[in-house]
Amino acid sequence: MTAKIKEFPGISLSEQDFADGKILFNFDKLNGIYAWDTGVGIGSYLASLKNGVILGSRCNTCRKIVVPPRVVCEQCYRPMDEYVPLQDTGTVNTFSLCYVTWDVKRITDPQIPAVIEIDGASPLHGIMHMLGEVDPQAVKIGMRVKAVWKPAEERQGSVNDILYFKPIEED
């Protein structure tokens, strides 16, 4: 059928058509303001971050330790058994060197988001955070890293209580 049809519908416009006023349009801004309560599992995680500890939770049925902690094990579909304090060190599972901000502005010094497998959690269980104090070109998957915390008095119970993770030397 595509072979039989010569002309397909769809009229293409360019950004210039807007700028030149060639077409009519209605511009508006939506207002979305929320206050998300943190809940039980993540609430415990954030309260723990305020004390300088990364918290996970353990399911005694599948014996997994997950991070961030939650109240239900989705694999076993039963309540998690306990919260477990984890180390503030880990291994870079993956990372990116990002030259575009969240609102699509170009930057020259890349942001370095990473997934960091946290020591004490089950294999491949990590969190997303940033890397810092590192030459972007030197970042490698498998690199060992440690959390750099805000000073205790400035922590608010937020993932940003960890400023970033930085590489560590180990024997």
In the complex, which residues of this chain contact another protein (CB under 8 A)? 1-5, 8-15, 23, 27-28, 30, 34, 36, 38, 42, 45-46, 66-68, 70, 74, 93-104, 110, 113-115, 124-130, 141, 158-160
Shortest separation between residue 90's beta carbon and another protein, angstroms: 11
> 129-156: string of b/e by CB count within 10 Å (b at 16+)?
bbbeebeeeebeeebebbbebbeeeebe
Shortest separation between residue 152's beta carbon and another protein, angstroms: 19
User: How far is residue 139's CA from residue 163's CA, in Å, rounded to a whole number?
Assistant: 17
User: How far is residue 163's CA from residue 145's CA, in Å, rounded to a whole number?
Assistant: 13
Q: 13 or 168: whose CB is closer to another protein?
A: 13
Q: 137 or 171: whose CB is closer to another protein?
A: 137
Shortest separation between residue 44's beta carbon and another protein, angstroms: 12
Strands 106-111 and 126-130 turn out to be: unpaired
Q: 74 or 171: whose CB is closer to another protein?
A: 74
DSSP 145: E
